[in-house]
Amino acid sequence: MFVVLASALIGYVYGQDVSCEYQGGPNNKYSLNLTSIFGWRLEYKSPHGFDYIYTPCFNNEQCVQGNARYYANSVQYKIGSNECYHYLSVDRHQQPTYFYGGASWLFQYTDGQLCDVTQQPRDLNVWMLCDENFDEGAFVADVVEDTPCSYSMQIRTPLACVPESKHHANCQWKATSSENTTVYLDLSSENGNYYRGGVSTNGYEIFYSPCQNGLHCYQQFGQQQVMSIAENMVTHTCEQQLSEWQEGRVEPIFHDSNPDEIHWSFHYWLSQKCLDGTPGEQTIRWYCDENAVNSTVKNATYDGNCRWEINMLSQEACPSSTMYSEHQGLVMDMKELYQKVKQHKLQN
């Protein structure tokens, strides 16, 4: 059986159409191109006596186990030995997942060498982190075996970086908190949603389509598509076109001085003036609500002076949300991962 498996892997390696370009993020609009490091052997020497090798994009490592020869993209050696100790993963063109909260791409491999402890194949999670401190290349910053035969590898490279303008255009922003930490707001999943606020005292109702100009406003000067409108509830017509989606160029301000009112605020100057000639303004706030399953409208107001507001409640506005730090229970922060490994060892 081992010989058959090895032969299959060999055939897969030499018959595969090697590609080093991947897509991810909102609607697969982000690109990860590893062509420049194709053929590289990225190495990490662990303080626990192991040497790890990873070859991006294809299976360039040989691992001899008994009479079988395996080809893999990641292997483990004992330091000082020239013989492969275990192979950890096989490249089968797995597509990575992009995480805005950690500016990283995650490759998940689940077909490594059979584990003596779990009797399951070894698995490897490779995190490719954006690092703009150097211009090219990549290096392995860390490898952790968080549970028996389950590994996490951190690779730092500028190739994993996505330009800020692309993030903004896809409804993703970041800011610095009062504690000097980076916090994230990812509203990309809101694209395609529509919200309506309650009717104000002057009979207007505000409609809002995050991340897009998804609302029509028909007026004498023609039809406009905008992100938010005020509708006259008597005539059921668009009374005022409000904010426009500008490819995310309007960046939010993060407010955390009051821990009970953590929120992000967007401020828009309106292209259409009010009837009295006053320049219009709209403020859209996203408030942190850790208990919110779905985003909802908190309230919507109009002050009578051409200033409009709509306030949202959402878990997406919470810096503490696991959507910015974990994926299916996998921790993106290697320091936090070390803490979990430490706790696991103490418990066992």
- CA dist., res. 123 & res. 152, Å (int): 9
For the segment 315-320, the average pLDDT, to the nearest whole number, is 95
Residue 15 pLDDT greater than 50, yes or no: no
Band (pLDDT 50/70/90 cuts) for residue 335 is low
pLDDT at 12: 43
The per-residue b/e assignment along 68-105, b for 16 or more CB within 10 angstroms, e otherwise, is: ebbbbbbbbbeeeeeebbbbbbbbeebebbbbbbbbbb
Residue 260 pLDDT greater than 80, yes or no: yes
pLDDT at 345: 54
For the segment 70-96, the average pLDDT, to the nearest whole number, is 94
- Contact (CB, 8 A) for 113 and 141: no
- CA dist., res. 264 & res. 53, Å (int): 43
- CA dist., res. 344 & res. 148, Å (int): 11
Residue 338 pLDDT greater than 70, yes or no: no
Q: Which has more confidence, 100 or 220?
A: 100
CA distances in angstroms from 221 to 106, 241, 268, 277, listed in the order given: 49, 12, 22, 16
Continuous segment of H or E residues that includes residue 209: none
Residue 291 pLDDT greater than 60, yes or no: yes
